[in-house]
Amino acid sequence: MGMGACIGLITVGAILTFAVNWHMHGVNVHLAGLIMMVVGFVGLNAYVAIYKRRRVQPPPPAAPVVEEDHRMVR
């Protein structure tokens, strides 16, 4: 689920929870809206966590180790 779908779920859930005043027989519209908002928030958190993990840059390579020979050459 992408970021747009998660934001869409949150939006539709908020509309069902706070802006709708009609009732369906056998379905609690307000509870369905709350469930959609929770699923949207969980999906958004999961998406951000995965996206954050993909954007981590590897550390730069370390400088090569140079060993000097201190023996005297004759």
Output the tens digit of pLDDT for each of the chain's 74 residues: 788 999 999 999 999 999 988 888 899 999 999 999 999 999 999 998 887 766 666 777 777 777 777 776 66
Q: According to the model, what pLDDT value does residue 73 have?
A: 62
Residue 16 placed within a domain: yes
DSSP reduced 3-state for 28: coil
DSSP 51-68: HHHHTPPPPPPPPPP---
The domain total for the chain is 1
Residue 65 lies in a domain: no
Range of the domain at 18: 3-54
Examine residue 26 and state whether it is found in any structural domain, yes or no.
Answer: yes
Q: What whole-number distance in Å separates Cα of residue 8 and Cα of residue 36?
A: 9
pLDDT of residue 56: 63
**pLDDT at position 42:** 95
Nearest to 13 by CA among 44, 39, 47: 39
Q: Is residue 64 one of the residues assigned to a domain?
A: no
H/E run at residue 44: helix 29-54
